Structure 1
Amino acid sequence: MSLRSAVIAAMTLALCACGKSRDGTLEIAVMGDSGALKEQGLRLSPAAQLVRSATHEGLVGFDEQGRVVPALADRWIVTDNGQSYIFRLRDGTWPDGKRITADAAAAALRKTIAGLNGRALGLDLAAIDEVRVMADRVIEIDLSAPVPELLTLLAQPELALTWRGKGTGPMVRGSDEEGAQVFTLIPPEQRGLPKQPDFTRRARKLAITFTTPDKAVTRFNDGYADVLLGGRIDTIPLAGSIGLTRGNVQLDPVIGLFGLMVDSTQGFLGASANREALAMAIDRDALIGRFNIGGWQPTTRVVSPDVEDDLGTIGERWQGMSMDERQTQAAARVAAWKSGGRGIPTLNIAMPGGPGSARVFDQLQVDFARIGLSIRRVGERDRADLRLIDVAARYGRATWFLNQLSCTVQKSVCSPVGDERVAEARKSADPAARAALLSEAEAEVTSANGFIPIARPLRWSMVRSGTPGFAANPWGWHPLPPMAWLPR
């Protein structure tokens, strides 16, 4: 290659590495429907969570590394052995110009918490006894027992506070002539924060395109996006289509639930031992091997062993049994059921679309066929016997997992006794006693066999080298505001 050709090639690569942005705007492709822009209330899709957290603030928020940072509250203290959190609000205004007061903020927070009743996030917040006003700009949250993860919970998009249906930023949303949604940082002085002399130079716009996974990857690959967000197991083969070795693919070290939820207790699935047969039959190593992703580990536990309050008394299931032995025992249970003249219809498994889901289904089909069962794949919103669950944990404690699987949330198969142990743990101020109760709860939930764990969830993104404001983090959560700030 001549020197001239080499220079041209280097310049082309440099341009591609910066994407095809407009006037310094950072182009972001999000895997998700544009309907996320219209989602209201507290049941939000991942794309809608991204929008909510950009345009609405709670008492606290997240930075790009998943750390809690000030938002409407500019400072806080924790007292009474972790059972009281006192927040001082910044001197800002609501969208209509009215001053933010503790009365209004506390009322909004109470309303939001009440709206989460009956959901897993509501159970996470169940230890909140009272939200009360202490002074014009001071709120206190009283707890019945310590909740070490309270700040992390308050930073969730669903806990953002609204005033007459609108949020306080830190960004405002508009659109451009090309149909992209443009998010712009609100100047600090308009939010009750000190003026920043270099704000105009440092702040940049974000142009967000919501689109299908394959189109999002194409936009990134063709240089029309610098960041791609929203990757999960169902879409990760698309990342491999341009090469995982390029260094653009970022995997988040998340924990959570990835496996099959039992949605029907009719016939064969009505017995816990039969549901356990399904769990025994899955060759998790073979399933993970279909994706060829280093470090992705299988699990048979409903609670991740990495959580802070795990005592280590509950290990992986069926240790000491080979895969053949497990499938032989599972097949015997299926045969015993059929020998009684009871048939087992084809089981429907609800899954999202995408090539990753297809790989999961193919392995499940092989494994279940070995024990005498046939399965059919249906859409993720269709009625089904089993449902593929893929949820990243919002905080790193056993209570998150157990609340997800509680009888309040899961109506088909759950453990009332397990829920009782979790409720007792919630009231305990002794960390050791609380951890012991949670271990008992995990054992009860596991024996119900309402959820069949497979592995950790996968969360992935694509980011061009040198893009500021993005970092892999344990929640798989990538807020927009940090990406709108250029380095000093």
Structure 2
Amino acid sequence: MVSAIGERPAPDWTDPTRLALRPVPADLPARLLLDATAQGLVRFDAAGQIEPGLAERWTVLDGGGSYIFRLREAYWQGGTRVTAEQVVRLLRHRLSPRARNPLAPFLTAIDEIVIMTPQVIEIRLHRPRLDLLKLFAQPEMTLVRPAPAGGSGPLRVATGGRMPSLRPAFDPNRADPGDQRLVQPEETVQLIAEPAARAIVRFVQRRSDLVSGGRFADWPLVVVADLPRTAVRLDPAAGLFGLAIVRRDGFLADPANRRALSEAIDREALVAAIAPNWAGADRILPEALDSGAPPQVPDWSLLTLDQRRAAARARVAAWREPVRLRIALPPGPGSTLLHAQLAASLASIGIVLERVAPEAAAELTLVDSVAPYDSARWYLATACLACGPEAQAALEAARLAPTPADRAARIAEADAAMAGDAGFIPLARPFRWSLVAPRLAAWQANARAWHPLNRLRPDAI
């Protein structure tokens, strides 16, 4: 059994095509189910690397201006064969506004998707992009037809309900297809969506083999649980963990005042209070990636914490009115520790920080997102929840850049504009944990923090 930590009650998964045809879900259990029962042109393997999905191979032409995919022999769950025409139609739907796909803003370079032969399709781009495959491997880009056709595997729903059982789907490309019809009990994966506390207890009682999707908010529960030392696994997740300033009035209308908040925070104490070996971050970009310049480093980074707080305290004192801010955080003991550390840091410069629920009105909100692909534009655009017009214009120029060289230059300018805007406060990189039983020896830590249900055992399909 696999426990996927969910932020909402488990849906009835008797018919996963209903889930797949609605606007793309964001919660982990639904994403895992989509990835298991359907696939796009490509998908992620256990190490977070690209492997074939519906496409058996592909060619990138014109420096990323064209992607040509040769489709393999595949079948929908209902038994009908996958065709190039269906793939093109479903891809176009995934990119349409009605799909409300969160990846759509990073796929705007796509010009058209066309059928070249009954087995070959081409994706043509307005502007060259060399980073599309990792986006196409995301669960949000899986292709599903209405029931009874469904998805194309690699797993299928054997029994539905709120704790669905998944079994290997028939794959004509595997050797000995007759053997596939004899599914062994150990090949079944049972998926359950539940809160972290319940998932941890289930694992401790050996009633599950994997707890997936753990975040900082529930990490203290892991620390106090009676777990084997080898069961706890951490992912080197790439992405953003920080505070977006979403209201820019009053004290926060001035970029220098917004910068004062970031100066005041003791990042070393903050991450140490929540989890061991979690490193803080003071900049948006972890490295240059596809930017034409190194990441922007805040001008206060060489100052001591006392020096930084003295300058920030002077900004607050000059305001001559009490400064009270609200921060929207998810539930969980890790969030309580995070709020305590942030409140102490801001109190040191004269600001009172109040914690509110995730959907409540607030000046600050937490961004905790794993990067779907390795582009500096993703980091900057994700951090820009409410950034100013100059930063927004720089990001738009980066999106529309006609060549890779021009794009790199525009991204560097956007990074500088975001630093000047001071609308995002970096704190660390995303913290992701799993609990893994010894028999799931194929589980691998990776930068995407993504663990496909069909890639957990060494003998998995």
> What is the aligned counterpart of 1:453 among 417, 426, 432?
426
Answer yes or no: is 1:169 the counterpart of 2:148.
no
- Deviations 1:376-434, CA, capped at 9 Å, x for gaps: 1111122222111111111122021122134xxx2xx2143334434444454654443
Does the CA contact (< 8 Å) of 2:93 and 2:99 recur in 1?
no
Residue 180 of structure 1: CA displacement? 2.9
After superposition, residues 89-108 of structure 1 pair within 5 angstroms as 89-108=71-90
Partner in structure 2 of residue 378 of structure 1: 356
Counterpart position of 1:214: 197
Change (3 A) 1:144 1:286: same
1:320 Cα deviation from its structure 2 partner: 2.2
Q: Percent identity?
A: 35
Structure 1 residues 119 and 300, CA gap change in structure 2 (3 angstroms): farther
Name the structure 2 match of 1:389: 367
SS in structure 1 of the partner of residue 63 of structure 2: helix
Question: What's the TM-score, normalizing by structure 1?
Answer: 0.85
CA spacing shift, 1:114–1:421, aligned 2, 3 Å: same
Determine the structure 2 residue equivalent to 1:365. Answer: 343
Asked if the contact 1:204/1:486 (under 8 Å) is kept, the reply is no
Amino acid at match of 1:28: V
Residue type at the aligned position of 2:153? G
* Distance change >3 Å, CA 467–CA 152, structure 1 → 2: same
**Residue in structure 2 matching 1:288, options 271, 285, 305:** 271
Task: State the number of aligned residues.
Answer: 449
Offset at 1:237?
A: 1.3
Deviations 1:260-281 (A, max 9, x none): 1112223222222221111111
The change in CA–CA distance for 1:400 and 1:365 in structure 2 (over 3 A counts) is same
The structural deviation recorded for 1:29 is 1.5
Give 3-state SS (helix, strand or coil) of 2:73's partner: coil
Counterparts of 2:357 and 2:456, CA distance in 1: 34
**Residue of structure 2 aligned with 1:478, choices 445, 448, 451:** 451
Deviations 1:286-341 (A, max 9, x none): 101213412x2211111122735463252354122111111111111111112xxx
What is the rounded CA distance, in whole Å, between the counterparts of 2:44 and 2:55 in structure 1?
A: 13
Of residues 287, 300, 316, the one that matches 1:305 is 287
Cα distance in 1 for residues equivalent to 2:275 and 2:174: 48
Deviates further, 427-436 or 105-114: 427-436
**Residue type at the aligned position of 2:453:** L
Whole-angstrom CA distance in 1 between matches of 2:145 and 2:131: 26
Q: 1:405 aligns with which of 383, 401, 405?
A: 383
SS in 1 for 2:103: helix
Residue deviations 1:31-51 (CA, integer Å, cap 9, x gap): 114435565322421221111
Relative to 1, partners in 2 of residues 1:96 and 1:464: Cα closer, same or farther, differing over 3 Å? Answer: closer
2:59 paired residue number: 77
Retained in 2: the 8 A contact 1:310–1:439? Answer: yes
Q: What's the counterpart of residue 348 of structure 1?
A: 326
Q: Which residue number in structure 2 is paired with residue 111 of structure 1?
A: 93
| Shift in CA distance, 402/116, structure 1 to aligned 2, threshold 3 Å | farther
Residue 187 of structure 1 aligns to a residue in which SS? coil
Q: What displacement does 1:353 show?
A: 0.8
Q: Distance in 1 between the 2:142 and 2:436 partners?
A: 27
Q: Which is worse superposed, 441-450 or 244-253?
A: 244-253
CA distance, structure 1, for counterparts of residue 131 and residue 60 of structure 2:
12
Comparing 255-264 and 150-159, the one that deviates more: 255-264
RMSD: 2.5
Which residue pairs with 1:315 in the alignment?
A: 297
Unaligned runs of 5+ in 1: 1-26
The answer to whether the Cα contact below 8 Å between 2:370 and 2:449 also exists between their aligned partners in 1 is: yes
* 2:413 aligned residue (435, 440, 453): 440
Of 359-368 and 313-322, the range deviating more from structure 2: 313-322
Deviation for aligned residue 1:62: 0.9
Partner SS, residue 482 of structure 1:
coil
**1:35 and 2:10 are equivalent in the alignment:** yes
CA distance in 2, matches of 1:310, 1:285: 29
Structure-2 change in CA distance of 1:172 and 1:484 (3 Å): farther
The AA in structure 2 aligned to 1:35 is A
Paired letter, 2:407: R
Match of 1:64 among 23, 27, 46: 46
- The counterpart of 2:137, out of the listed 149, 152, 155, is 155
Amino acid at match of 1:67: Q
What is the CA-CA distance between 1:373 and the residue it aligns to? 1.1
d(CA) in 2 for partners of 1:117 and 1:56?
16
SS in 2 for 1:82: coil
Query: Matched residue of 1:76: which SS?
Result: strand
What are the superposed Cα offsets for residues 321-364 of structure 1, whole Å, 9 maximum, x if unpaired? 111111111111111112xxx443x3221111111111100001
- The 1:58/1:388 distance shift into structure 2, 3 A limit, reads same
Q: Partner letter of residue 211 of structure 1?
A: E
Q: What is the alpha-carbon distance in structure 1 between the residues aligned to residue 271 and residue 395 of structure 2?
A: 31
Q: Which amino acid aligns with 2:30?
A: A
CA distance in 2, matches of 1:108, 1:300: 41
Q: Residues 203-243 of structure 1, C-alpha deviation per residue, up to 9 Å, x if partnerless?
A: 70011222111111111112111111110010111221236
Whether the aligned pair in 2 keeps the contact of 1:36 and 1:47 (CA below 8 Å) is no
Aligned equivalents of 1:36 and 1:391: distance in 2? Answer: 23
CA shift at 1:459, angstroms?
Answer: 0.6
Larger Rg: 1
Once residues 282 and 39 of structure 2 are traced to their aligned partners in structure 1, the CA distance between those partners, rounded to angstroms, is: 37
How far apart are the structure 1 equivalents of 2:292 and 2:159?
47
By how many angstroms is 1:85 displaced?
A: 0.5
Residues 118-156 of structure 1, C-alpha deviations (whole Å, 9 max, x = no match): 876222111111111111221100112322221110011
| Residue 308 to residue 446, structure 1, CA distance change in 2 (3 Å) | same
Paired position in structure 2 for 1:228: 211
| Counterpart for residue 223 of structure 2 | 240
Whole-angstrom distance in 2 between the partners of 1:366 and 1:141: 51
1:8 alignment counterpart: none
Per the alignment, do residues 292 and 423 of structure 1 end up closer, same or farther by CA in structure 2, a change over 3 Å counting? closer
Give 1:181 deviation, angstroms: 2.1
Change in CA separation of 1:416 and 1:122 when aligned onto 2, cut-off 3 Å: farther
Which amino acid in structure 2 is aligned with residue 288 of structure 1? Answer: V
Which residue, out of 421, 424, 440, partners 2:394?
421
Q: Is the alpha carbon distance of 1:416 and 1:126 closer, same or farther for their aligned partners in structure 2, counting shifts above 3 Å?
A: farther
